[in-house]
């Protein structure tokens, strides 16, 4: 029996990347998994095959009525919501002086407002059952700045602080809230934004392990935060980043040890 057996889990951004890997890991650990995304894909069939029960909702996380309807359906079907992972998100950036308001607002609307609306939708069920784990997906770029990050960094920094406030506000109801702050993870999103750019190797080198991360490595952290092993963990912004935010490197270690 898996270590999440009996837990009802809800994952946004579940059709690809980090969200899909979280759904897959939860299913393999015996959880009931419900996913949501703008569209599904063939990979979701693997989750359905592994999970004792699974569902998928086509959802724009900016849609408050849609969010409330999905949460109500999960409770009606499964009786509770134990875990939510807010993996839906988009990239964006640029320099503030020439950024359009529309570009700024789109990233804020998906990344922070979408996270807020997901939490708002599931909290009534978690309050009623006096338990729950809210796992938001932020970023190392929500912990520190980087060139050209602007709107994305601002949105992910807001996710981190919203999550800390959720931990403060709902701990008395038995609800935990934590952020995962991934480094640069090899997902379709990364491939579309970074991988083919001339400075991709410089970004990779900022990770002390000398590589980009894998979605399953983020799913492992999500599993920990979903499981009873993290029962005394709340309000944490957890970097899962190959050492990206550990400090600056100047090549001294390569002189001593070689490597990538």
| Catalytic-labelled residue, pool 10, 152, 170, 244 | 152
d(CA 171, CA 184): 30
- What is residue 25's predicted lDDT score, i.e. its pLDDT? 94
In percent, the amount of the chain with pLDDT more than 70 equals 93
Where are the chain's structural domains? 8-257
The 10s digit of each residue's pLDDT in 160-198 is 999 999 999 999 999 999 999 999 998 877 777 776 677
Q: Is 152 a catalytic residue?
A: yes
* H or E segment to which residue 94 belongs: none
16-30, 103-117, 194-208, 239-253: range with highest mean pLDDT: 103-117
Q: Which of 6, 22, 14 is nearest to 221 (CA)?
A: 22
Determine the pLDDT at residue 170.
Answer: 98
Span 8-257 CATH architecture: 3-Layer(aba) Sandwich (3.40)
Residue 259: the pLDDT is 62
- List of residues 6+ apart from 241 with CB closer than 8 A: 140, 181, 182, 183, 207, 213
Query: Strand order in 54-58's β-sheet?
Result: 54-58, 32-37, 8-12, 83-86, 132-137, 175-182, 237-240
Residue matched to tokens 């979701």: 44
Mean pLDDT, the chain, integer: 91
Region 206-231: mean pLDDT is 95
């Amino acid at each position: 029996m898996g270590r999440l057996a009996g837990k009802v889990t809800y994952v946004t951004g579940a059709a690809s990347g980090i969200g899909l890997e979280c759904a897959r890991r939860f299913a393999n650990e015996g959880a009931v998994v419900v996913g949501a995304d703008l569209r599904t894909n063939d990979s979701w069939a693997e989750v359905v095959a592994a999970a004792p029960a699974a569902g998928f909702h086509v959802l724009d996380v900016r849609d408050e009525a849609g969010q409330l309807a999905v949460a109500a359906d999960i409770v009606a079907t499964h009786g509770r919501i134990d875990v939510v992972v807010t993996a839906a998100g988009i990239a964006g950036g640029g320099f503030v002086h020439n950024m359009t308001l529309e570009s700024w607002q789109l990233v804020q609307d998906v990344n922070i407002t979408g996270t807020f609306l997901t939490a708002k939708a599931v909290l009534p069920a978690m309050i009623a059952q006096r338990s729950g784990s809210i796992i938001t997906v932020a970023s190392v770029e929500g912990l520190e700045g980087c060139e050209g990050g602007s709107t994305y960094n601002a949105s992910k920094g807001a996710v981190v602080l919203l999550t800390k406030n959720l931990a403060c506000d709902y701990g008395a109801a038995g609800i935990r809230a934590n952020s995962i702050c991934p480094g640069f993870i090899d997902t379709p999103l990364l491939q579309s934004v970074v991988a083919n750019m001339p400075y991709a190797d410089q970004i990779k080198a900022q990770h002390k392990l000398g590589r980009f991360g894998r979605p399953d490595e983020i799913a492992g952290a999500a599993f920990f935060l979903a499981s009873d092993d993290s029962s005394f963990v709340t309000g944490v912004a957890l970097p899962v980043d190959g050492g990206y935010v550990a400090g600056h490197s100047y090549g001294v270690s390569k002189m001593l040890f070689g490597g990538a």
